[in-house]
Amino acid sequence: MNNAPTIPQSATGETSSPAPAWHSLSADDAIREQGSDARGGLSAAEAAARLLRVGPNTLTAREGRSWWAALGSQFVAVLVWLLLVAAGVSAVLGEWVDAGVIAAIIIINAVIGASQEFSAERSIAALRGMTAPKARVVRGGVVAVVPAAEIVPGDVLVLEAGDLVAADARLIESASLAAIEKSLTGESEPAEKDAGAVSPSPPVDTPLAERSGMVYSGTAIATGTARAVVVATGMQTEMGRIAALIAGAESDGPTPLQVRLARVGRLLVIAALFIVAALFGIGLVRGEPLLELSMTAVSMAVAAVPEGLPAIVTVALALGVRRMARRRALIRHLPAVETLGATSVICTDKTGTLTVGQMTARALVVSGAGDGGAAGGTLAMLDVSGEGYAPEGAVTAQGKELSAGAGAAVMRLARNLAGVNNASVMEEKGRWVASGDPTEAAMLIAAAKVGLKREALDEGSPRLAEAPFDSDRKRAAVVRRSADGADVLVNGSPESVLALCTQIAEADGSRSMTAADRAAIDAANADLASKGLRVLACAARTVPQGEVAATVADPSPASLERDLTFVGLVGLLDPPRAEAREAVAKCKAAPASAW
DSSP state of 48: H
**224-233, 302-311, 519-528 — which is least confidently predicted?**
302-311
Half-sphere exposure of 92 (CA within 13 A, CB side): 13
Task: Report which listed range, 9-13, 41-45, 198-202, 392-396, is most confident.
Answer: 41-45
Residue 186's pLDDT is what?
A: 75
pLDDT of 109-132, one tens digit each?
A: 777 767 766 665 665 555 555 545
Work out the number of other CB atoms within 10 angstroms of the CB of residue 35.
18
Average model confidence (pLDDT) across the chain: 82
Whether 388 contacts 362, CB under 8 Å: no
Q: Which residues are known to be catalytic?
A: 349
Confidence at residue 3, expressed as pLDDT on a 0 to 100 scale = 43
Summarised one tens digit per residue, pLDDT across range 461-480 is 999 999 988 878 899 999 99
Q: How confident is the model at residue 8 (pLDDT cuts 50, 70, 90)?
A: very low
In tens, the pLDDT along 170-188 reads 999 998 899 999 888 877 7
Output 254 or 482, whichever has higher pLDDT.
Answer: 482
**pLDDT the model gives residue 131:** 47
Q: CA 136, CA 117: separation in Å to the nearest integer?
A: 38
The pLDDT tens digits of the residues spanning 348-406 come to 877 777 888 788 999 999 998 754 444 445 789 999 998 888 888 888 887 787 765 56
Model pLDDT, residue 55? 93
- Provide the CA 171 distance to its chain's centre, in angstroms: 23
Percent of the chain with pLDDT over 90: 42
Amino acid at 324: M
- At 309 the pLDDT is 67
* pLDDT for res 196: 92
pLDDT, greater one: 554 or 317: 554
Alpha helices in 386-499 (DSSP H): 408-419, 438-449, 454-460, 494-498
Query: Amino acid identity of 315?
Result: V
DSSP string, 281-319: HHHHHHT--HHHHHHHHHHHHHHTS-THHHHHHHHHHHH
- Distances in Å between the Cα of 439 and the Cα atoms of 214, 290, 417, 454, 494 are 22, 83, 10, 15, 15
pLDDT digits (tens, 9 = 90+) for 201-248: 775 678 888 899 999 998 999 888 999 999 999 999 999 888 887 766
Before 20, cis peptide (omega within 30)? no
Average pLDDT over residues 475-496: 95
State residue 12's pLDDT score: 39
Beta bridge partners of 566: 504, 539
Q: Which of 222, 215, 220, 221 lies closest to 237, judged by CA?
A: 215
SS3 per-residue string spanning 72-96? HHHHCCHHHHHHHHHHHHHHHCCCH
pTM of the shown model? 0.57
Structural contact between residues 377 and 520, judged by C-beta atoms closer than 8 angstroms: yes
Bridge partner residues of 168 (DSSP): 232
Can you give the pLDDT at residue 540?
97
pLDDT for residue 14: 41
Count of alpha carbons within 13 angstroms of residue 291, beta-carbon side: 2
3-state secondary structure 88-118: HHHHHCCCHHHHHHHHHHHHHHHHHHHHHHH
Query: Could you tell me the pLDDT band of residue 443, with boundaries at 50, 70 and 90?
Result: very high
pLDDT for position 228? 96
Residue 588: pLDDT band with limits 50, 70, 90: confident
pLDDT of res. 100: 81
Contact 333, 251 (CB under 8 A): yes
Query: DSSP states of 481-534 as a string?
Result: EETTEEEEEEEE-HHHHHTTEEEEEETTEEEE--HHHHHHHHHHHHHHHHTT-E
What per-residue confidence (pLDDT) applies to 133? 78
pLDDT at 97: 78
d(CA 272, CA 507) in angstroms, rounded, equals 89
Residue-level pLDDT at 333: 66
Residue 437 banded pLDDT, cuts 50, 70, 90: confident
pLDDT on residue 561: 95
CA atoms within a 13 Å half-sphere pointing along the CA-CB vector of 161: 19
Packed helices 308-326 and 256-286: angle between N→C axes, nearest 10 degrees: 170
Three-class SS state of 209: helix
